[in-house]
Structure 1
């Protein structure tokens, strides 16, 4: 019996030690959402901190009261806590436990709405933004640059300090585009074009991924956003234009098939590829009278509205 107990304890210690090592090994990893590298991510971090503080205003007193009540009114000989079986209500307590949550929700709602509406505009107004069209596929990401007329797969390069408006759609399942250090996630949906403003303040490489489960290849839907100085970005775009192959309609159809893909770069792509993708998928959900031949390009533009 003692040997079995000893072996059981040994296994338990081993499991605890292994768990501790896993936790310690992750201590050096950055918590990406708490490491904002752009104005959008900074605003969202402030909103997260405010939400945590307001939650703490409720949670901490409630836990403290729970500990106090359990200790103060415990069943113990000689406990002199008052016994009031006829007690029914307290106006003061009613005001507290209704009033405090209402105030907290009001503060959080106003601040959340204000922050959310501020994010539909370019993070900075004095710098000309660029547009990148993003299409989620199973299981890969296609990035198209309308101004540079180039495209990439599973990575994107952007100029540092420049607002970037991502136009997002999907040619397969619904997904979610997320670059934690630059800002929050936005959904990609078939037949729709969503917008997301992001900006990297400094040159660097930022982790991105799909944040919505889309099947067995979901874990591989990762990409990197590389921010470079404007001059280096321009040089990269020119180099791609000179050396990379073209993305034809036939190649796109192959790319759109289910499966994984390595990084790819293209010097051109069909002009209406992004809009045709929206139209093709939108036909499944739109009423016949709502269908039309195309989208007004001005609706997809990034003019300073």
Structure 2
């Protein structure tokens, strides 16, 4: 799926992988070929091969053996430096139009998507217009995971008490598989979602449809749905408590709330540390 990219970021990442592989093959392929050439040319039955037991140095060979890899390493370093800045997930894409902002919360074992500008939210359903920038803010309510849509590009960590960012864009309409790329517990294999890129009209219709849901999402409701569960389906919320995303992060950084969010085993360890 990484090579069947459908997003502008994914295309650049694919091209970068292919370019780096091609440069490294300049060393790998000649080394493999010469292994067979030398084995054949200097076989015991080849009496025409030159026998030079006193040979110990060749400047030309040293230049090739060391010079070519050094040039490739320099080229790779320049490419990586340039691409690291250009493909920085925090860097907005150079595309016209207002981005669609989505706040992503990873939980055990599901994804909660909050659209702060639209006042709606979903579980395990990410919908956005194609050809329009998707600006994602990502955090976790518990264990660390990674937000990953292979065909669109990028793989960014979701960590409790922290906010990471990712900017993506789909080059065409379609349904793309989303997942967590980091093992984080027994429900990891079910921590999947569908990212749907639509046209602007269908996106507006989808937003209108979500707003008809009788469910609302506040912090108390979030704490209930964030409890560990496996194989969670799609759920839609027509209203969202303002600042919910920040509240999820703050529960791990405000004084006195970190311990309440810890697993029981860790609480015991911290208690024993204080006693000591």
Query: One fold, TM greater than 0.5?
Result: yes
Q: 1:75 matched to which residue of 2?
A: 44
Task: Give the CA deviation at 1:250.
Answer: 2.5
- Shift of the 240–94 alpha-carbon distance from structure 1 to 2, 3 Å rule, reads same
Task: Give the CA deviation at 1:90.
Answer: 2.2
- Secondary structure at the aligned position of 1:265 is classed as strand
Q: 2:259 matched to which residue of 1?
A: none
Q: 2:236 matched to which residue of 1?
A: 265
Q: What residue ranges of structure 1 are gaps of 5+ in the alignment?
A: 1-31, 285-305
Tell me, yes or no, if the aligned pair for 1:190 and 1:282 is still in contact at 8 Å. no
Q: What residue ranges of structure 2 are gaps of 5+ in the alignment?
A: 256-276
Task: Give the CA deviation at 1:237.
Answer: 1.1
- Shift of the 244–179 alpha-carbon distance from structure 1 to 2, 3 Å rule, reads farther
- Shift of the 81–198 alpha-carbon distance from structure 1 to 2, 3 Å rule, reads same
Q: 1:295 matched to which residue of 2?
A: none
- Secondary structure at the aligned position of 1:234 is classed as helix
Is 1:98 the counterpart of 2:72? The answer is: no
Q: 2:24 matched to which residue of 1?
A: 55
Tell me, yes or no, if the aligned pair for 2:210 and 2:236 is still in contact at 8 Å. yes
Q: 2:127 matched to which residue of 1?
A: 157
Q: 2:216 matched to which residue of 1?
A: 246
Tell me, in whole angstroms, the C-alpha distance in 2 between the residues paired with 1:246 and 1:179: 27
Bigger drift between 205-214 and 66-75 goes to 66-75
Tell me, in whole angstroms, the C-alpha distance in 2 between the residues paired with 1:47 and 1:139: 32
Task: Give the CA deviation at 1:186.
Answer: 1.1
Tell me, in whole angstroms, the C-alpha distance in 2 between the residues paired with 1:189 and 1:114: 27
Tell me, yes or no, if the aligned pair for 1:131 and 1:165 is still in contact at 8 Å. yes
Greater helix fraction, Structure 1 or Structure 2: 1
Is 1:113 the counterpart of 2:84? The answer is: no
Q: 1:184 matched to which residue of 2?
A: 154
Task: Give the CA deviation at 1:124.
Answer: 3.5
State how many pairs are aligned: 252
Tell me, in whole angstroms, the C-alpha distance in 2 between the residues paired with 1:72 and 1:117: 48
2:55 to 87, 96, 113: 87
Tell me, yes or no, if the aligned pair for 2:213 and 2:236 is still in contact at 8 Å. no
Is 1:136 the counterpart of 2:106? The answer is: yes
Is 1:35 the counterpart of 2:4? The answer is: yes
1:205 to 167, 172, 175: 175
CA displacement 1:138-192 (0-9 Å, x = unmatched) = 1111111111111111120011110011111111111111111111211111221
Q: What is the CA RMSD across the aligned residues, in angstroms?
A: 1.7
